[in-house]
Amino acid sequence: MKSGRPISKRFLVPVTLAVGAALGLGMITLVVHAAESAKKIEIVIKDKAATVLGGYVVTGDPTEIVVRNEDTVTHGFNSSLFEPNDKVVISGGYLAEGKGPHVYRVDAGKTMVLRFTPPRRDEHSSLSFWCDMHYTVRGEMLVMELTGESGG
């Protein structure tokens, strides 16, 4: 073997994992980092119908719900995920005055982001969301409760 020869890519991943395991980092760290970036749900509203593009919520962790309104009218957004005292930071949309603590609006062609930390729940569940203005705009989100070393 010549010295100064580049390391083959097929050896790089096993060596990296072995060094990580020796340092106590292991696969758990990799899984936790992957989950941290996925605490977001993306929803698109178009033709008066809602589609969940992907993502999930882990209770007790900061979360974003991104609602893209690709329709020609304003839509509402509410969900059984919200608790009455949840503090929600809104960008790109607004609270629907007089409609309740967690009824939001997103105008046509706009994207609304709702940032909050959902309360812990006892188990995984599928929670609904809906537009209070158009009955065909509705769907479900997966909400997960993680326990153990990486989940709290």
Could you tell me which residues are beta bridge partners of residue 69? Answer: 45
Q: 2: alpha, beta or left, given left = phi > 0 and alpha = psi -120 to 50?
A: beta
Per-residue burial over 3-41, b if 16 or more Cβ lie within 10 Å, else e, is: eeeeeeeeeeeeeeeeeeeeeeeeeeeeeeeebeeebbb
pLDDT of the residue at 6 = 47
Fold of 39-144: Immunoglobulin-like (2.60.40)
Domain ranges of the chain: 7-37, 39-144
pLDDT in tens, 98-140: 998 999 999 999 999 999 988 877 777 778 999 999 999 999 8
Residues 107 and 69 sit within 8 Å (Cβ to Cβ)? yes
pLDDT in tens, 35-62: 454 488 999 999 989 999 888 777 888 9
pLDDT of the residue at 147 = 59
Q: Which residues contact 82 (CB under 8 A, 6 or more apart)?
A: 88, 101, 102, 116, 118
Could you tell me which residues are beta bridge partners of residue 111? Answer: 68
Round to whole Å and give the CA distance between 45 and 68: 6
Give the tokens for residue 69.
């309104």
